[in-house]
Amino acid sequence: MSAHLPETVDAWRMVAAQRSFSGRLPVSRLRRLTDLLASPEGWVDYRLQFDRDAGGTPTLHVVVSADVMLVCQRTLEPFASTLAVDQMLGLVTDEAAEVAVASGSEPLLVQGPLLLEAVIEDELLLAMPLIAVRPGSEAALQPWQPPPEQPAREHPFAALGQLKQH
């Protein structure tokens, strides 16, 4: 295990060595993710394990957890939430090799050095809710009610109409 997360790795060498990385990094380092958050504060805990599956396909097991601040789309107020990922990625060199990836795994196209921080960020982005809603915010919803009926107002020129009749 290594607490240091290198910027890039050779995925095939990592698979051959069955290398793993684990540690913690600040949410603020993940720019694409922080653009969607109420605050860039928080930490991302990660564990990455390179290996092979039963069929011999190179894999990367990604386990990530991040405590983040989201904006509730009902109340527009920030709230704390946890994004959690436990995903097996089958490493492939081209799109034709995707058929070799075991069911339950997602293919990850690797063409050159693998950016581990980008893999972590991609998985967290996929774990983001489509519509962030704070638990318990249902009480903030008020059922729609039509506006109360106003008494009929007298037309301002009604008096002129009466004069015209005379």
Task: Evaluate whether residue 159 is within a structural domain.
Answer: no
- Residue-range definition of the domain harbouring residue 100: 8-34+42-66+83-122
- Per-residue pLDDT reduced to its tens digit, 120-141: 999 999 999 998 988 877 665 6
Task: Evaluate whether residue 73 is within a structural domain.
Answer: no
Q: How many domains does the chain have?
A: 1
Which parts of 16-166 are beta strand (E)?
Answer: 20-26, 43-52, 58-71, 78-92, 106-109, 114-115
Task: Evaluate whether residue 152 is within a structural domain.
Answer: no
- 94 pLDDT band, cuts 50/70/90, is confident
Task: Evaluate whether residue 112 is within a structural domain.
Answer: yes
Task: Inform me whether the pLDDT recorded for 159 exceeds 50.
Answer: yes
Average pLDDT over residues 57-66: 94
Task: Evaluate whether residue 147 is within a structural domain.
Answer: no
Task: Evaluate whether residue 61 is within a structural domain.
Answer: yes
> Which residues in 125-153 are b (16+ Cβ under 10 Å) and which e?
eebeeeebbbeeeeeeeeeeeeeeeeeee
- 42 pLDDT band, cuts 50/70/90, is very high
Task: Evaluate whether residue 87 is within a structural domain.
Answer: yes
pLDDT of residue 1: 45
